Structure 1
Amino acid sequence: MSYTIKQFAQLVGLTDHTLRYYEKEQLLNPLRSSNGHRVFNQRDIDWIQFILRLKETGMPLKVIKHYAMLLAQGDNTIRERKEILELHQIYLDNKLNEWQGHREKLQQKIDNYHAMCQQRKGI
């Protein structure tokens, strides 16, 4: 199945403008129809969803662009792409640990307030 830029934008939750920007930045490389219109397919959907996941998890656009460039170069860049993703995974693991620590401190404060409320009821 193929999609126009408007259909594709709706499917992936982005604007036409953002998709054109991603294309200009060489993150997307849609096929073109005989009349020059962009044509998107399932592969493009999967790719943009991956880009968005990387972005949403804090990977800088510069690194995503580097990853995309390596991907376009083919299988001889698999090791480099793997390293980029491994480094990002370490970053995410560190962030998860950090957020877990924040959550635990917040829970301690909530527990303290809960105990204080219970004591006030007993007074």
Structure 2
Amino acid sequence: MADLTISAVAEKFHVKPDTLRYYERIGLLPPVPRRTNGNRYYPPSIQEWLEMVLCFRASGMAIEPLIEYCSLLQQGDETAPAREKILQEQLAVLLTQREQLDKSIHRLEGKVARYERGEVKVGADWLHFAEKKDGRK
């Protein structure tokens, strides 16, 4: 992996250059080195760091705990327990979301199957739900 300009990194990771500057300003990225002309360049280590940040953001991690995680990461190995706690909390959130998604998927699959079997008529879809809710069949 080679050093890249801010434009190249933005294109590679599908983010705006302003996002990269913002991430650096708030501490999600370590200080990005600059060339003698003042332009930022992103060595492979910072590109990998950005990939981690984007992965955590895609998982739904909020900015504040991510800033804390990145700050702790830069402080060294002694912060490992605190970093682990942040990751465990995010994992718990994701597992809860997955459970909710699994329930929704199961319900939708059942609904689609009823349509495929031709069991749903006008108004019958809601009636079937109401009957099950009331304990009637």
User: Is the pair's TM-score, using the shorter chain for normalization, greater than 0.5?
Assistant: yes
How big is the shift at 1:72? 1.3
The aligned residue for residue 11 of structure 2 is: 10
Which residue, 79, 82, 97 being the options, matches 2:81? 79
Matched, 1:66 2:68: yes
In 1, the alpha carbon distance for the partners of 2:77 and 2:117 equals: 59
Between structures 1 and 2, the one with greater helix share: 1
Name the aligned partner's letter for residue 20 of structure 2.
L
In 2, the alpha carbon distance for the partners of 1:11 and 1:42 equals: 12
Deviations 1:38-66 (A, max 9, x none): 12011112111111111111110111111
The aligned residue for residue 52 of structure 2 is: 50
User: What TM-score do the two structures reach when normalised by structure 2?
Assistant: 0.79
Matched, 1:89 2:91: yes
In 2, the alpha carbon distance for the partners of 1:5 and 1:116 equals: 55
The aligned residue for residue 28 of structure 2 is: 27
In 1, the alpha carbon distance for the partners of 2:99 and 2:47 equals: 31
> Cα RMSD between the aligned structures?
1.6
The aligned residue for residue 39 of structure 1 is: 41
User: What TM-score do the two structures reach when normalised by structure 1?
Assistant: 0.88
Gaps of 5+ in 2: 120-137
In 1, the alpha carbon distance for the partners of 2:71 and 2:39 equals: 23
In 2, the alpha carbon distance for the partners of 1:116 and 1:8 equals: 52
SS in 1 for 2:60: coil
SS in 2 for 1:37: coil
Q: Give the aligned length.
A: 118
SS in 2 for 1:100: helix
Bigger shift: residues 25-34 or 101-110:
25-34
How big is the shift at 1:33? 2.3
SS in 2 for 1:65: helix
Gaps of 5+ in 1: 118-123
Moved over 2 A (4+): 32-37
SS in 2 for 1:9: helix
